[in-house]
Structure 1
Amino acid sequence: MSAAAYLEQCRAKQDNYRGLSFETITAVGSNAAITHYRTSPATNRTVTTRHIYLVDSGAHYSDGTTDVTRTLHFGEPTAAERDAFTRVLKGHIALATAVFPPKIKGNRLDSFARQFLWSVGLDYGHGTGHGIGMFLNVHEGPMGIGWRTYPDDPGLEEGMFLSDEPGYYKAGEFGIRIESIVRVVKADTPHRHNDQDFLTFKVVTLAPIQAKLIDVSLLTNAEVACLLPLHNCYRHHFDVMVIRNLNLCLRCDFIVCLYNFDNAEYNYDLDWLNAYHETVRKEVGAVLSAQRDQRALEWLMRETVPIARLA
């Protein structure tokens, strides 16, 4: 409970803050296995070095609404935790980099995020993504990404904002979720079927994905490099995540568009992760430097060190 309160204090210091967009989920160990856990004095647990810590949080700002989840471990995660986390991450990347025709409905994309869990007999019980309002509802339709169809889903269109949030939950032990906001944008494709532009996603949320929870042997090189310097990054104005010690303060300031890699040239997982983390370092690091928050800046630098490829 104190972690949630501290996180809200950090957010309140940011420009244009108007309040939380939903009640913060801050869950340790077995509490994290409860998908929509609500913090209470009866179930409250201390953040330790022995258990996974999951935090799902967001806020309203006058220029946007945020929703983000990160899963952390402050000790040494087990092999099972690392395996599950990495499969969730691979699904997160697969959805974030999917290319699809316009007006496709979200249920057609849901399996992109689940495939690496399914391949070993695992799954999660919630939807993979929901629409995000602009200083409105943090869960806003009519579109979404899930195994079920949304009754009024018009199909995905350029400019929509959704969440990308696969997870895995082992009852009584731990829970994992990685959630970022993504924006629907035009994809750069070599062909235009029926003279139409295809679409893809650009990641908006900037927050480290903890390296110690990743089993690099399960990643392709390009999945890791998407967490190396972004030579071809285009910057717009919307959302940045400001990291503070134990966790994160959200601030709506920048959209940073990650470039898409050619799979023939890059081995996707490692490239994605390293490029993403380079962007986090640059954009969030600048905010922390301006705020003179040296402790948070040092934490950010440690958490975004590029991950080396396996020999």
Structure 2
Amino acid sequence: AMKRDYTLVLKGTMQLSRTRFPRGTLSPMLDALARAPLWEQGIEFGHGTGHGVGYFLNVHEGPQSISKAIPDAHMAMEAGMITSIEPGVYRPGQWGVRIENLVLNVPARPPEGTAFAEFLEFETLTLCPIDTRCIDLGLMRADEVAWLNAYHATVRERLAPRVSGDALAWLNSRTAPI
């Protein structure tokens, strides 16, 4: 059951991390994307999925809030915003799972032949391995495994030049393809 919860939270993190959305989308409208894998299994979490992250120690900074908040025009997603993505499940007296990454809103390259609105996507800023030992691979789709392997390849590529010895061996083992 714990592996299922972990995998569903990871799927929510990945689903939101991979999405494209029109510039100006109201941030609460993105919340259901991270919750959907959990909702499909009848699981809900009581906290927001994400929030703006500022500087000068303002960890929770708007205007964006990926949550069940009632959307309002000042919550529009714009390029350059840093936001957390952090779905989670807590089972009192048993375990809790939260997988959190910080992402940057960046312009998305439009697919060939489209001429719709300007779109944004998330660039993942957090470069930390996601523990694969807790994943129930039976719940993962091929595209999700591919995303996780690509994320881990980026983590390894960016961090490996900065570590050596045991730390490098650990990094390589924790970012190996699944």
TM-score per shorter chain, which class? over 0.9
Alignment partners' CA distance in 2, 1:203 and 1:149: 26
Q: 1:298 aligns with which of 163, 169, 175?
A: 169
Alignment partners' CA distance in 2, 1:152 and 1:295: 50
Cα deviations by residue, 1:176-196 (Å, 9 ceiling, x for unpaired)? 000000011111222232xx3
Identity between Structure 1 and Structure 2 (%) = 44
* Counterpart secondary structure, 2:133: helix
Q: Which residue of 2 aligns with 1:192?
A: 115
Say which structure is richer in strand.
1
Alignment partners' CA distance in 2, 1:134 and 1:203: 17
Unaligned runs of 5+ in 2: none
CA-atom RMSD in angstroms: 1.4
Alignment partners' CA distance in 2, 1:173 and 1:221: 30
Mapped contact 1:88–1:178 kept (Cα < 8 A): yes
Give the drift of 1:97.
0.9
Cα deviations by residue, 1:80-135 (Å, 9 ceiling, x for unpaired)? 11111111111101100111111111111100000011011101110001111134
Alignment partners' CA distance in 2, 1:162 and 1:272: 19
Cα deviations by residue, 1:129-184 (Å, 9 ceiling, x for unpaired)? 11111343111111110011366733000111000101111111000000000011
Q: Which residue of 2 aligns with 1:240?
A: none
Q: Which residue of 2 aligns with 1:201?
A: 122
* Counterpart secondary structure, 1:275: helix
TM-score by length of 1: 0.55
Alignment partners' CA distance in 2, 1:137 and 1:150: 22
Q: Which residue of 1 aligns with 2:75?
A: 154
Letter in 1 for 2:149: N
Q: Which residue of 2 aligns with 1:167?
A: 88
The structure with the largest alpha-carbon Rg is: 1
Q: Which residue of 2 aligns with 1:282?
A: 157
Count of residue pairs the alignment pairs up: 176
TM-score by length of 2: 0.94
Q: 1:221 aligns with which of 142, 148, 158?
A: 142
Mapping of residues 2-17 of structure 1, within 5 Å? none
Q: Which residue of 2 aligns with 1:270?
A: 145
Alignment partners' CA distance in 1, 2:14 and 2:26: 19
Mapped contact 1:142–1:150 kept (Cα < 8 A): no
Letter in 2 for 1:286: P
